[in-house]
């Protein structure tokens, strides 16, 4: 079935000739939907679920996607959309809650499912037009719902079904409205990308003209306009996030950028020297280095609770930043490399139900006491997108592909009390882990690798002596977006070499373990 032409000129203005709007009904996957759309080279924005039809028209999108959400559409107070959006003639794709809402608005019924579906399901495709072009008659999909569409009006045609969900996909016979009960945006739906691509190309008519370079150009222009003649302070950490943030700002405002590196004593081995070298080679901005190891060690003395560690580190970081910022005249803005996974795990996503997994002292900006306006140009991006953006900005691959490092540094990898002695043990062990992963040509094939120092000792035998020393855990994961991650299947000989070197070369360690937990249920970092 061909889709009706849009009821108005849908050519957007600005960054791209094509764009899709994702209406967010509180789903943790809303940003993932946007990311999947951008992977098809179509510009995508997330907007509130209650955006009006008139406001949608102003955005001039090629199509709309209604996200999932934690509510039931029949509950009092459940989020709704403006029903007039279905009168605009725009292609609409409802996913999970979005499908249920679209079907309800257009004459169907939604009820609690007789059998809830969570996880992988086998889907039988009845129609291979439009959404399911190129998809086999049976395909795996990822379900996550307790409600489902129990009845659709005669205007809808069922497209697919699972064993417990007879209406797993639908198409409106007259309007360009489609619905999927499963989640095509997650990797657990192997052909979900094909389904989304079909919606974008066959239904919305998108050609895929947007590139990440367009995002860079638009962001640079926006930063230049917002900052004007003001000065921006950017915190450097040595990671790709802060480097890309600094690169965007440097392209936008040049000498109006001042960077601050807080050496809190919680950095990896030789980290400060590496950051200084990279900064000198790639930027000519004003750089301030704050030597604050003693301050951070004092504030962490005796503290073992993870969230309290993060809180104290954040407070000390703010104080250091504040003191140094007072030495920078005319500073008005503070730039941070906050990414979307940081926002989600901090429970800070607007209109979202995400629980707080861990505190991030950077998410949402430093407290108002700093008196700066916050700039977070990467807030809507995932890690892999940031890396591609770094390459667009001509940052060196060595920097772009550096594994992530947590804001609180080694303090959240040094379980138990943080002391200089324990940090030195951890630093040496961590350096060996990274060195051996590089030597085995596995650094680019893994997403994050590091060592963790446990607050326990174990018995060992070294030479003819009994030892009672520390245990170190190796953590290595693979992931695309850091929202989920799987533990890396490292070769045994690599693990053996890492273990041998750590035990032989790092005084105070007599046992090495390997973490085989995935995220979820575990997190990537231990604290």
Q: What CATH number is associated with residue 356? A: 3.40.50.620
* pLDDT given at position 361: 41
Indicate if 157 and 284 belong to the same structural domain: no
Counting the structural domains of the chain, the total is 3
Residue 498 lies in a domain: yes
Residue 360 falls in the annotated catalytic set:
no
Residue 3 lies in a domain: no
* pLDDT given at position 405: 87
Indicate if 351 and 448 belong to the same structural domain: no
Catalytic residue among 44, 96, 259, 476: 96
Residue 96 falls in the annotated catalytic set:
yes
Q: What is the domain-level CATH number for residue 448?
A: 3.30.300.10
Indicate if 165 and 190 belong to the same structural domain: yes
Is residue 95 within 8 A of residue 183, CB to CB? The reply is yes
Residue 468 lies in a domain: yes
Indicate if 316 and 420 belong to the same structural domain: no
Is residue 265 within 8 A of residue 233, CB to CB? The reply is no
**Cα(524)–Cα(503) distance, integer angstroms:** 24
pLDDT at 376 over 50: yes
Last residue of a domain, one of 334, 365, 400: 400
**Cα(367)–Cα(46) distance, integer angstroms:** 26
Last residue of a domain, one of 203, 230, 256: 203
**Region label for 41, one of left (φ > 0), alpha (ψ between -120 and 50) or beta (otherwise):** left
Number of Cβ atoms within 10 Å of the Cβ of 520:
10
Greater model confidence, 246 or 358: 246
Residue 185 falls in the annotated catalytic set:
yes
Indicate if 447 and 304 belong to the same structural domain: no
Last residue of a domain, one of 361, 379, 400: 400
Indicate if 177 and 50 belong to the same structural domain: yes
Residue 8 lies in a domain: no
Q: What is the domain-level CATH number for residue 177?
A: 3.40.50.880
Greater model confidence, 291 or 114: 291
Indicate if 225 and 368 belong to the same structural domain: yes
Catalytic residue among 18, 185, 278, 469: 185
Range of the structural domain that residue 289 is part of: 212-400
Residue 107 lies in a domain: yes
Residue 406 lies in a domain: no
pLDDT more than 90, % of the chain: 55
Average pLDDT in the 498-521 region? 94
Catalytic residue among 49, 183, 360, 403: 183
* pLDDT given at position 338: 85
pLDDT at 285 over 70: yes
Q: Does the pTM of the predicted model rise above 0.85?
A: no
Indicate if 122 and 141 belong to the same structural domain: yes
Query: What pLDDT, in 10s, does the model give residues 128-184?
Result: 888 999 999 999 998 876 677 877 788 889 999 988 888 899 999 999 999 999 999
């Amino acid at each position: 079935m061909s889709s009706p032409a849009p009821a108005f000129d849908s050519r957007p203005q600005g960054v791209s000739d094509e764009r899709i709007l994702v209406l967010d009904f509180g789903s943790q996957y809303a940003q993932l939907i946007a990311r999947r759309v951008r992977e098809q080279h179509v510009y995508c924005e997330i907007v509130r679920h209650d955006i009006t039809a008139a406001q949608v028209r102003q955005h001039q999108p090629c199509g709309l996607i209604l996200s999932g959400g934690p509510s039931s559409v029949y509950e009092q107070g459940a989020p709704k959309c403006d029903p007039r959006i279905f009168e605009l003639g725009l292609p609409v794709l409802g996913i999970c809650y979005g499908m249920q809402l679209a079907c309800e608005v257009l004459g169907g019924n939604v009820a609690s499912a007789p059998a809830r579906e969570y996880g992988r399901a086998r889907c039988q495709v009845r129609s291979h037009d439009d959404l399911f072009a190129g998809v086999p008659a049976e395909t795996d999909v990822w379900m996550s719902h307790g409600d489902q569409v129990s009845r659709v009006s005669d205007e809808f045609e069922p497209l697919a079904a699972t064993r417990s969900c007879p209406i797993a996909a639908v198409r409106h016979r007259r309007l360009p409205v489609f619905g999927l009960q499963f989640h095509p945006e997650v990797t657990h739906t192997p052909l979900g990308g094909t389904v989304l691509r079909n919606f974008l190309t066959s239904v919305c008519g998108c050609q895929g003209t947007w590139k990440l370079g367009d995002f860079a150009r638009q962001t640079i222009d926006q930063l230049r306009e917002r900052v004007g003649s003001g000065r921006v302070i950017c915190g450097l950490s040595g990671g790709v996030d802060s480097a890309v943030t600094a690169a965007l700002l440097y392209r936008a405002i040049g000498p109006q950028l001042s960077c601050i590196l807080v050496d809190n004593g919680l950095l990896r081995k030789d980290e400060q020297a590496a950051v200084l070298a990279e900064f000198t080679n790639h930027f000519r901005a004003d750089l301030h280095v704050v030597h604050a190891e003693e301050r951070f060690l004092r504030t962490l003395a005796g503290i073992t609770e993870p969230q309290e560690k993060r809180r104290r580190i954040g407070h000390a970081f703010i104080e250091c930043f504040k003191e140094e910022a007072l030495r920078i005249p005319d500073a008005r803005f503070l730039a941070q490399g906050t990414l979307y996974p940081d926002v989600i795990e901090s429970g800070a996503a607007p209109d979202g139900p995400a629980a707080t997994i861990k505190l991030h002292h950077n998410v949402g900006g430093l407290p108002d006491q700093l008196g700066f306006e916050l700039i977070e140009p990467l807030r809507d991006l995932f890690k892999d997108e940031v890396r591609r953006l770094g390459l667009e900005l001509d940052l060196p691959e060595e920097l772009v592909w550096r594994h992530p490092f947590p804001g609180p540094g080694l303090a959240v990898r040094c379980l138990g009390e943080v002391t200089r002695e324990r940090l030195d043990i951890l630093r040496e062990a961590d350096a060996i882990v990274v060195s051996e992963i590089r030597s085995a040509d596995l650094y680019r094939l893994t997403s994050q690798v590091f060592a963790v120092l446990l607050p326990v000792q174990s018995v060992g035998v070294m030479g003819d002596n009994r030892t009672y020393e520390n245990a170190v855990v190796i953590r290595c994961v693979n992931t695309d977006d850091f929202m989920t991650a799987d533990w890396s299947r490292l070769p045994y000989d690599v693990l053996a070499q890492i273990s041998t070197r750590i035990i032989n070369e790092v005084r105070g360690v007599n046992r090495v373990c390997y973490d085989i937990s995935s995220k979820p249920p575990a997190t990537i970092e231990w604290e």
